[in-house]
A and B are shown apart, each in its own frame.
Chain A
Amino acid sequence: MDIINAIVAFVNFVVVPATAYGAQLALGALGATLVYGILRFSNFAQGDTMAFGTMITILMTWWLQSMGVHLGALPTALIAMPVGIAVTAGLLLLTDKFVYRFYRKQRAAPTILVIVSLGVMFVMNGITRLIIGVEEQNFADGERFVMTAGDFKRWTGLSEGLAIKSTQAITVITAIIVVAWLFWFLQKTRTGKSMRAFSDNEDLALLSGINPNRVVNVTWIIVAALATIAGVLYGLDKSFKPFTYFQLLLPIFAAAVVGGLGNPLGAIAGGFVVAYSEVFVTYAWKKVIGYLVPEAWAPDNLIQLLSTDYKLAVSFIILIIVLLFMPTGLFKGKSG
């Protein structure tokens, strides 16, 4: 019984939140890695693209709610999301047309494009804050829980509860669908294949008649979709605040680099590696260990490697370790 309690406590405080967070990071990192693979630069505006897409979705959600449209147990934001994706895709295509295309024509070095994306990031940052403000926004509605801790305790008679929020379930399910679709698209469709060809060798791709503008535009649209979905899921599960989205940039890049920049599979693995490490390293193991060992051995202190204040630092540490020992990431990426 104690072992079961230990497992339940572990799942409730480590596995469930880390899985949801990992899925959100994976989607964000997929966007960053696609830009790196196909357009060949690190897009610093990724976090703020997520914020922008989420903002449009929130505004749309509010409008739908005011019209009395609801999805029952599911959050209304799910219907609003396509609009968010469309508007974000429009913004990214315009940015590409007026900013990135200029530098692409000049065949600018990736470092220059990185700094250009930094500028784009600040502009997007400003647009989001001008429209929705800097305050925290909550837009989750519908059923809050798939299973509450109290219900779980009543059903099982255990002393530990297990709660699964509906937003966590939605996050994981949506992430699986999106990732499956993306891989199907990249592997099976003509456009997907041309994107991969463009990523592997730009000159050869051009010689074989692939339209570079089309590849670039499709990439931005997919990035807009991934960023908006990741942002909306993060916002539903936690809360929306422009500044926290800006801060997501670090774990997202840590995830992309760990997995291997430019490699979609790596981005997903990286997302989960970063999320699980953050939670593992900052989790206080006292309770779990207390259930597993005889009472006399139960620990007095928290058995916590790092205080939760250092959560963000874990991303840095992983980034440094990976760059030192596996510069191309877990799955061979294009960096290094």
Chain B
Amino acid sequence: MKKLMLATAATALMAGGAFAEDAKIGIILGFTGPLESITPSMAASAELAIAEVNASGKFMGGGKVTSARADSTCVDAAAATAAAERLVTAEGVNGIMGADCSGVTGSVLQNVARPNGVGMISPSATSPGLSSAEDDGLFFRTAPSDARQGEVIADILGERGVKSIAISYTNNDYGKGLSDSISAAFEAKGGKVTVVTAHEDGKADYSAEVATLAAAGGDVLVVAGYVDQGGKGIIQAALDTGAFSTFYLPDGMYGESLIEAIGPGLNGTYGTVPGTDSEGAAKFAELAKAAGFDPTSSYTGESYDAAALIMLAMEAAKSTNSKDWTAKVMDVANAPGEKINAGELGRALELIAAGTDIDYVGATAVELIGNGEAAGNFREYTVTDGKFVTDKFR
């Protein structure tokens, strides 16, 4: 009996080194709930990366990667936790691609990932709170924290010589979080934030809100709202009363409909929107179109990259054990090393197996900073003659 066990153990050990190993990735996204329109494309992107790895036949010396989907609901933390628990216990996944919304992501991390020691990479959770969450080194995200956008915005405003800003934000977690990060970053750079006020969406008239902003003054009005909602109303009322003439538009305010609604008054206004001009993005768009889904849908590139990073880190760690592969995520994602674009996962696996260091660029020019979150890529634009004109990518 003892001999048999020893033999089995020895075989198992050898198998680890010489034979193929399979892996399973759990994809937990809000297939029902407020994000149900974008999550199918996100899941398809992750599965695209998995299919690409399988087609190369080079994963862990010829292993297969399978996947299992689960519903995070985006808003119901209890349902998301139960779904993630099922992935870990019943499906036995080696890593989790997800979750999507910040709230459920935090609860899956604390209630499932950490107790079970399973690594997870979220493609779309952007809450700054997750940067400082206890994660035992198990949590990463390929989407930038909203705090990061605040820093980028403060940089741009500083570069354009803006000394003082007023901020109006849409009264919800997104608006509040973003305005907090903008004012913190801008003040850290020595700028002056004259006033930070909330506006409610869906009102007919924003002249009272604008009167408050005008009383405080400022060179530029930062409108952290939504393009088809209160944000538009604030800009319109501010232009009508002559309170402000230049606006800064964060990601939620980017949209052709704004130019249509406001007209020439918007010229000279500038802002940022997530985006990259990298080669990988174009390549990913091609792959997505061939696979039959829309690459411009939100967070598709991030989902592809999240799944790809899990598999590449497993290859680099030579293990599907979360403790091992999560330690390799930062190495694989960042320089130095051979640059790997989307669609080159097979080559990446080959390089890693050969012992070459890689720098995964992927679909969204991934660069993980801090606690393992994307630095993010932003397209800076100025409204010129009624068009969004790209100034640069940063």
| Residue A165 lies at the interface, judged by CB distance under 8 Å to chain B | yes
Given contacts A234-B204, A241-B202, A307-B197, contact A283 B212 (CB under 8 A): yes
From A13-21, A110-118, A124-132, give the one contacting chain B: A13-21
Given contacts A150-B242, A286-B216, A308-B197, contact A238 B204 (CB under 8 A): yes
Measured between beta carbons, the chain B residues less than 8 angstroms from A287 are 214-217
| Residue A161 lies at the interface, judged by CB distance under 8 Å to chain B | yes
B241 touches A13 (CB 8 A): yes
Measured between beta carbons, the chain A residues less than 8 angstroms from B208 are 17, 278-279, 282-283, 308, 311
| Residue B207 lies at the interface, judged by CB distance under 8 Å to chain A | yes
B211 touches A284 (CB 8 A): yes
Q: How far is the CA of A161 from the CA of B261 in the complex (A)?
A: 23
Q: How far is the CA of A283 from the CA of B204 in the complex (A)?
A: 18
B204 touches A239 (CB 8 A): yes
Bitwise, B215-234 to A at CB < 8 A (1) or not (0) is 11100000000000000010
| Residue B195 lies at the interface, judged by CB distance under 8 Å to chain A | yes
Measured between beta carbons, the chain A residues less than 8 angstroms from B233 are 239
A residues bordering B, Cβ < 8 Å?
Answer: 9, 12-14, 17, 21, 136, 138, 145, 148-150, 152-153, 161, 163, 165, 234-235, 237-241, 243-244, 278-279, 282-288, 302, 304, 307-309, 311
Measured between beta carbons, the chain A residues less than 8 angstroms from B197 are 307-308
Q: How far is the CA of A153 from the CA of B243 in the complex (A)?
A: 12
Measured between beta carbons, the chain A residues less than 8 angstroms from B2 are none
B171 touches A309 (CB 8 A): yes
Q: Shortest CB–CB separation between residue A144 and chain B, in angstroms?
A: 8
Bitwise, B172-203 to A at CB < 8 A (1) or not (0) is 00000000000000000000000101111011
Given contacts A150-B242, A161-B242, A287-B217, contact A282 B203 (CB under 8 A): no
| Residue B256 lies at the interface, judged by CB distance under 8 Å to chain A | no
Chain B interface residue bracket vs A: 20 to 34
Q: What are 21 A-B pairs at a CB distance below 8 A?
A: A13-B207, A13-B211, A13-B241, A17-B205, A21-B205, A136-B202, A138-B261, A234-B204, A238-B205, A241-B204, A279-B208, A282-B212, A283-B211, A284-B211, A284-B216, A286-B215, A287-B216, A288-B215, A308-B199, A308-B209, A311-B208
Measured between beta carbons, the chain B residues less than 8 angstroms from A150 are 242
| Residue B279 lies at the interface, judged by CB distance under 8 Å to chain A | no
Q: How far is the CA of A13 from the CA of B208 in the complex (A)?
A: 8
Q: Shortest CB–CB separation between residue A38 and chain B, in angstroms?
A: 30
Measured between beta carbons, the chain A residues less than 8 angstroms from B211 are 13-14, 17, 279, 283-284, 308
Q: Which 10 A-B pairs have the closest CB atoms?
A: A149-B242, A161-B242, A284-B215, A238-B204, A13-B211, A244-B204, A287-B215, A238-B205, A284-B212, A17-B207
Q: How far is the CA of A312 from the CA of B202 in the complex (A)?
A: 14
Q: How far is the CA of A175 from the CA of B350 in the complex (A)?
A: 78
Q: How far is the CA of A282 from the CA of B200 in the complex (A)?
A: 15
Q: How far is the CA of A287 from the CA of B211 in the complex (A)?
A: 10
Q: Shortest CB–CB separation between residue B373 and chain A, in angstroms?
A: 33
| Residue B36 lies at the interface, judged by CB distance under 8 Å to chain A | no
Q: Nearest residue in A to B200 (C-beta to C-beta)?
A: A309
B198 touches A302 (CB 8 A): no
Q: How far is the CA of A165 from the CA of B265 in the complex (A)?
A: 15
Q: How far is the CA of A235 from the CA of B171 in the complex (A)?
A: 24
- Known contacts A149-B242, A163-B240, A308-B212; 14 additional CB pairs below 8 A are A13-B210, A13-B215, A13-B241, A136-B204, A145-B240, A153-B242, A238-B205, A241-B204, A279-B208, A284-B212, A287-B214, A287-B217, A288-B215, A302-B212
